[in-house]
Chain A
């Protein structure tokens, strides 16, 4: 049984790759993830805010009230060196590389074309095998047209690609008017992989206190339909690898993603909820299913149900919607 796959040039023993989550913060947990059979891991993200604000925040609070009052010219000891967030992150990548053999994919999360991008190089220098760029952008400004936003994505990617030797994936939101065109643009900008899709945590309202509150909801299996569809549509049209993420919970989900044309299936909510042991269960499940259905390898199934391979390509388009509605009507 050959579960191996290739993801942006990395030869992986299977398509299971835990996505960026708190699971990667602890080295022992990552060891366990490797032992459970994961083929690679995306490390939790280094955030642009960490890079741009942490330094300013630290300086602000360490010097707040200083040099104002004769008896207390400062309030804190001044260490020689701080291990700021970015540097702790690089150290962590290096530590992970020493601790496990599976490929380590660094993750950089931001929205602007500011100086934070240069930290991609440090992630490479720390030993990461690849980098995932997570452009987490909520376009709230009504004066910025879509084209400008799309350009931000492409220029960030190009800038990062130009300085790195390791492959670079870009994680996207599904909210593009022309998803296919956007994928193509990113493909042309040098993306080694597209990671579909980012889940935005949607804030909630606290009606007792009239506050907007953050609300973390783990993914449900239903959410996988969106990446499944788009991987199926994009497969064969772009050079970049495709990773499916959001709502991957079982071996069947992984198989579906592979059949749609995905190279890897990324998961986090399932592991956070049911434990790292789920990786080996999913792998076992895949093997059983493939045995049963007589698939020798993952590569055989890859793209087998993509839009261009299925009998009814329109199923991925509007026709599918019409069909669903009609069937719904017929039920009522």
Chain B
């Protein structure tokens, strides 16, 4: 049977095999492995069968630890079981991996290898995670390319069931897991031919069953445990042979021969590099070039089976002529003699050379080095540098390659101009916005080229780390020869820029070849486009003699109802210009792909795309390039000259896309960065921004409250400042008793930081009496007002902040005068989470420490280059840290314990120093009331006085107290994270922290789904909602976390939804912080994963509350002291049907389109559930806690 050629990524290649040889798949989402689980879930939902004819059971667990436990249990009871994970997820599986291997249980874990979180988290690829499992007893087998992923997956499953040794099958995260490549797909027959049913039967016979009971997993003592551990040796001894046999059997079926160690290069090589993973592909490409064109005696060894490590096979693979060896590890083990592969190679060769039959004439010189951490580029130039290092008499050992280590000087120099790719490979680069569909179109293009032509094809996609206004760069290669270039394109024949604005942000033409083709999507008329280009770009086009094509893709998109999606249009241009396929055929293929992509979503969307294709060519023009560049438009500097040095010199490089140039000395040694850096990254991503109409504004402050990016600021200030204001700076008289007489009031928009989400306009309660469509904030085009508003905002920032002691924080209008210390994050436009986070920063930011769970909030809160947490003019502001995903509650509690201890110690020292310091001051400090801003201000003043006294005392105790004296001022600990953390992976810890009684404030940003990893179901997901792993609608109700927390009785609990009742939200935050014990706020956060118009996010919140789905309440245990019911409902009984809320959102509505019957059934159940829960809350809120005379009812005091 002929095998299909498919163009897929590494994740799909792995899942294709894993799914077909498994009965149970237990997973937990983690980047970059999530798509493997998602694909399996999708296939299971489509009832795709495995090779034995049954549909695997795919289940999402609450953590990777949970997934590993479920895998272990499933294996123990005889189901062939697999899982997919990476990085910290793999770490959480380690305890079970020891168990599974210890019990000789066959299984394969497919791992898209990823960096581990040390000084910083990184989602990108290296081998740090898999290297941490090499001691578990699992076999480790590596794949280097997408084809190898599919092939090795099968080899691993076969070898595992035969050897009884479980395997980690790993491939490089993103570089391989997300690289799209044309490969030959294994058929079910291929897979069947490899899997030995007899061995499967034996596996099942070993299963735990009450029909033939045994016990497994006993506890053992010093007498026998050791012997027991030694029983497995023989299985590990024969395992490499079993894997090699599997590889050879596979070769017979497919013609592709793999070996435990594959050598490639000169048969008489003197210098050999040893490595594994995708870098081996680039190394092979380089060796081919060096041996064939430079006649160098070099070669590489690709390590495939790393554990069990077969020294015998390894030695046999090395040419006898070898003199020097360089071992490359894609991981780092600080403090080790060398990285793991290096140590294994040294050991293997040393042992062999010390044997009676040494394999080489002379002990080869062996050095080791590190490369490619966190998907750091690994190019032929770097490979050559590694070989060149070996030419030296004393090659550098323990080196690094690919970075500039100017601190410990371990790095090798390399010549970036060394390139191996020739004209036989066509290389294309596409710059686009995430929102315009560029990546999707390129994925389709590569599919067309891969599957409809003889070409080999590869696609790789680079995303930035912002969730709004993000840019993408697509790297496409195709040609007649297999492609092994596992690095970004260095020179391109074709460059497409799908968004004009990017011409000013990136050196788009920096990598285009002489005489190449440049396609630009221009919003300007064809004849004007040249004049609108920056001068540098004009010069590049002239100098490089480019063929320059222009289309107004937005016009075509608009005309054909495609909105801002120019994907199909630009794809059509690419095929028309590049001539890869005859024009007619290309258009036919594009249309076929359109049908495949959109067909399920209805004919109309297909028709729109067809029309876009048809109208593209007549709007595509080639520009006659003038001979001289005359544009007066200069590319603006990325970072303002006023920025601090570190921002300009280091973070600025990252913003510019030149982070690879940052030197080791420029990076912090311990992951510590300054705050207040987003203000220097002016992204200008909004096409329209709000403009303030002071004539009708009622100064309610709601706009500032809901602004997700802190781009709307309010100040009340002395009118004397108006005298020097910029011409267009707006102000009005401040209204309200809380402000001094005659003060001015300004709402200022940071137009360069605004994302144009429109939430402020939506929430504005005022309408213009003359034209009711207008409000006190109205969207206007950004570019015409940019310069003036920039000056206005700068002026605004210089106006004095309000004295916090004067602010009545319980009112929205005055609370919004407080300076936000969380600003301009990279969160999605219209984000429903960030307004809550910002509110914390406004109310308590100058005394807050944040423990942030991994997820959306840790990414928009802490992803380089710039971070949104900021400090005020006094230098105070939130201190922030992210530990892990699962431990955030404990992490925050640790902070509390530490602060409390130091506060206690400071008080003890203060008492001891009472005589020297003065009793009055000591008493004032010890008895300070710090419940409000005035109290905190006064305490800070006292501490200033204390410090000055202590400095004069100069005793041991005084000096000790000086170290910790600031802990005498109140500190507010905020534990922040999403529902994935609070409801699932971190729930155990959260529960413990709630039960601890410690004074922490826990803010759950509840989007009801794993937003950061792309919409997987959590236990917060509502019944009937569609999410990944709940394709047929979540069949169970949302976990009632608040009810569980209230059960403790001493936890402050609030459920809030800013879009429904902002005043209640504000009250809840103030009460939670004031409560001297654990507080839990569950905040409804609308999200793009809900499939809603984000501008209407607040409406969604309101509908959720009005339907009774999201009751608002506050449970304050302090009320018990007054004999009052601690629970107060802040929303009314359901007044709209549940369907009137949920069917406004795609996450629910799509179920009525995909599973109409289930949707109806679940709607019915969900509606009942909502009403029942409401009744319960109502009942609780109405319970009498005191008798008629106001005395407490017995037993209610806590």
Residues of A within 8 A of B (CB): 51-56, 58-85, 88, 115, 209-211
Residues in B1019-1048 with C-beta less than 8 Å from chain A: 1026-1031
Which residue of A66, A85, A210 is within 8 Å of B440 (Cβ)?
A: A66
Can you give 9 contacting A-B residue pairs, CB < 8 Å? Answer: A58-B601, A58-B605, A65-B467, A69-B466, A70-B174, A71-B31, A71-B1013, A76-B1027, A81-B1154
Which residue of B563, B608, B1156 is within 8 Å of A83 (Cβ)?
A: B1156
- Decide if B386 is an interface residue (CB 8 Å cutoff): no
Beyond A59-B601, A71-B859, A79-B600, 6 additional contacts (C-beta under 8 Å) are A55-B604, A69-B470, A70-B463, A71-B1012, A71-B1014, A209-B767
- Decide if B807 is an interface residue (CB 8 Å cutoff): no
- Interfacial chain A residues near B1152, Cβ < 8 Å: 88
What are the interface flags for B735-774 relative to A under an 8 Å C-beta threshold, 1 for contact and 0 otherwise? 0000000000000000000000000000000010000100
- Decide if B635 is an interface residue (CB 8 Å cutoff): no
- Interfacial chain A residues near B605, Cβ < 8 Å: 55-56, 58-59
Q: Are B600 and A78 in contact (CB under 8 A)?
A: yes
- Decide if B1134 is an interface residue (CB 8 Å cutoff): no
Closest 5 CB pairs of A and B: A68-B434, A55-B602, A72-B1014, A61-B1091, A75-B1015
Which residue of A70, A73, A79 is within 8 Å of B1154 (Cβ)?
A: A79
Q: Are B470 and A78 in contact (CB under 8 A)?
A: no
Q: Are B772 and A60 in contact (CB under 8 A)?
A: no
Q: Are B1154 and A67 in contact (CB under 8 A)?
A: no
Q: Are B772 and A70 in contact (CB under 8 A)?
A: no
Q: Are B42 and A63 in contact (CB under 8 A)?
A: no
Please name the residue on chain A nearest to B829 by beta carbon: A65
- Interfacial chain A residues near B42, Cβ < 8 Å: 77-78
> Closest CB-CB distance, A53 to chain B, in whole Å?
8
Assuming A55-B601, A76-B1015, is B1154 touching A83 (CB within 8 A)? yes
Measured as residues with beta carbon below 8 angstroms from the partner, the interface class of chain B is 35 or more
A211 to B765 Cα, complex, angstroms: 12
- Decide if B1146 is an interface residue (CB 8 Å cutoff): yes
Q: Are A65 and B1088 in contact (CB under 8 A)?
A: yes
A71 to B602 Cα, complex, angstroms: 28
Q: Are B1014 and A60 in contact (CB under 8 A)?
A: no
- Interfacial chain A residues near B561, Cβ < 8 Å: 56
Q: Are A115 and B604 in contact (CB under 8 A)?
A: yes
> Closest CB-CB distance, B1018 to chain A, in whole Å?
14
A202 to B514 Cα, complex, angstroms: 65
Assuming A58-B602, A76-B1028, is B1150 touching A65 (CB within 8 A)? no
What are the interface flags for B119-132 relative to A under an 8 Å C-beta threshold, 1 for contact and 0 otherwise? 00001000000000
- Decide if B194 is an interface residue (CB 8 Å cutoff): no
Please name the residue on chain A nearest to B463 by beta carbon: A70
- Decide if B145 is an interface residue (CB 8 Å cutoff): no
Q: Are B1150 and A67 in contact (CB under 8 A)?
A: no
> Closest CB-CB distance, B100 to chain A, in whole Å?
28
- Decide if B828 is an interface residue (CB 8 Å cutoff): yes
> Closest CB-CB distance, B366 to chain A, in whole Å?
36
- Interfacial chain A residues near B41, Cβ < 8 Å: 77
A74 to B31 Cα, complex, angstroms: 13
- Interfacial chain A residues near B563, Cβ < 8 Å: 60
Assuming A72-B1014, A77-B45, is B604 touching A56 (CB within 8 A)? yes
Q: Are A82 and B604 in contact (CB under 8 A)?
A: no
- Interfacial chain B residues near A56, Cβ < 8 Å: 561, 602, 604-605, 608
Please name the residue on chain A nearest to B599 by beta carbon: A81
- Decide if B603 is an interface residue (CB 8 Å cutoff): yes
- Interfacial chain A residues near B439, Cβ < 8 Å: 67-68
Q: Are A58 and B1153 in contact (CB under 8 A)?
A: yes
Residues of B within 8 A of A (CB): 31-32, 34-35, 38, 41-42, 45-46, 123, 174, 178, 433-435, 437-440, 443, 461, 463, 465-467, 470, 472, 561, 563, 598, 600-605, 607-608, 767, 772, 828, 859, 1011-1015, 1026-1031, 1088-1089, 1091-1092, 1146-1147, 1150, 1152-1156
Q: Are B1146 and A58 in contact (CB under 8 A)?
A: yes
> Closest CB-CB distance, B473 to chain A, in whole Å?
12
Q: Are A51 and B604 in contact (CB under 8 A)?
A: yes
> Closest CB-CB distance, A38 to chain B, in whole Å?
25
A52 to B1155 Cα, complex, angstroms: 21
Assuming A60-B563, A68-B434, A79-B1154, is B35 touching A73 (CB within 8 A)? yes
A252 to B199 Cα, complex, angstroms: 83
Q: Are B1088 and A88 in contact (CB under 8 A)?
A: no
> Closest CB-CB distance, A114 to chain B, in whole Å?
9
- Interfacial chain B residues near A211, Cβ < 8 Å: 772
- Interfacial chain A residues near B604, Cβ < 8 Å: 51-56, 115
> Closest CB-CB distance, B731 to chain A, in whole Å?
26
Assuming A62-B601, A88-B1156, is B472 touching A68 (CB within 8 A)? yes
Assuming A79-B1154, A115-B607, is B1091 touching A62 (CB within 8 A)? yes
Assuming A55-B604, A68-B472, is B1014 touching A73 (CB within 8 A)? yes
- Interfacial chain A residues near B34, Cβ < 8 Å: 71
Q: Are A76 and B1011 in contact (CB under 8 A)?
A: no
Q: Are A54 and B1091 in contact (CB under 8 A)?
A: no
Which residue of A72, A75, A84 is within 8 Å of B1091 (Cβ)?
A: A75
> Closest CB-CB distance, B126 to chain A, in whole Å?
15
A52 to B1089 Cα, complex, angstroms: 24
Please name the residue on chain A nearest to B1015 by beta carbon: A75
Q: Are B1153 and A83 in contact (CB under 8 A)?
A: yes
> Closest CB-CB distance, B916 to chain A, in whole Å?
56
A181 to B1147 Cα, complex, angstroms: 49
A247 to B1011 Cα, complex, angstroms: 51
- Interfacial chain A residues near B1013, Cβ < 8 Å: 71-72
A82 to B1174 Cα, complex, angstroms: 33
Interface centre among B463, B601, B603, B1092 (most CB of A within 10 A): B601
- Interfacial chain A residues near B31, Cβ < 8 Å: 70-71
Assuming A51-B604, A61-B1146, is B1031 touching A77 (CB within 8 A)? yes
- Interfacial chain B residues near A70, Cβ < 8 Å: 31-32, 123, 174, 178, 463, 465
Please name the residue on chain B nearest to A51 by beta carbon: B604
- Interfacial chain B residues near A76, Cβ < 8 Å: 1015, 1026-1028, 1089, 1091, 1146-1147, 1150
Q: Are B767 and A210 in contact (CB under 8 A)?
A: yes
- Interfacial chain B residues near A52, Cβ < 8 Å: 604
- Interfacial chain A residues near B601, Cβ < 8 Å: 55, 58-59, 62, 82, 84
- Interfacial chain B residues near A81, Cβ < 8 Å: 600, 1154
Q: Are B440 and A79 in contact (CB under 8 A)?
A: no
Q: Are A61 and B1092 in contact (CB under 8 A)?
A: yes
A71 to B828 Cα, complex, angstroms: 14
Q: Are A77 and B1153 in contact (CB under 8 A)?
A: no
Please name the residue on chain B nearest to A205 by beta carbon: B772
Assuming A63-B437, A67-B440, A70-B123, is B46 touching A80 (CB within 8 A)? yes
A70 to B516 Cα, complex, angstroms: 29
Q: Are A82 and B434 in contact (CB under 8 A)?
A: no
- Interfacial chain A residues near B467, Cβ < 8 Å: 65, 68-69
Which residue of A58, A67, A85 is within 8 Å of B437 (Cβ)?
A: A67
- Interfacial chain A residues near B45, Cβ < 8 Å: 77, 79
- Interfacial chain B residues near A59, Cβ < 8 Å: 598, 601-602, 605
> Closest CB-CB distance, A93 to chain B, in whole Å?
14
A130 to B949 Cα, complex, angstroms: 96
A67 to B459 Cα, complex, angstroms: 14
A54 to B600 Cα, complex, angstroms: 12
- Interfacial chain A residues near B470, Cβ < 8 Å: 68-69
> Closest CB-CB distance, A243 to chain B, in whole Å?
31
Please name the residue on chain B nearest to A79 by beta carbon: B1154
Q: Are A72 and B1011 in contact (CB under 8 A)?
A: yes
- Interfacial chain B residues near A74, Cβ < 8 Å: 1014-1015
Q: Are B38 and A80 in contact (CB under 8 A)?
A: no
Please name the residue on chain A nearest to B437 by beta carbon: A67
Please name the residue on chain A nearest to B562 by beta carbon: A56
A66 to B603 Cα, complex, angstroms: 21
Please name the residue on chain B nearest to A211 by beta carbon: B772
Please name the residue on chain B nearest to A114 by beta carbon: B604
- Interfacial chain B residues near A71, Cβ < 8 Å: 31-32, 34, 123, 859, 1012-1014
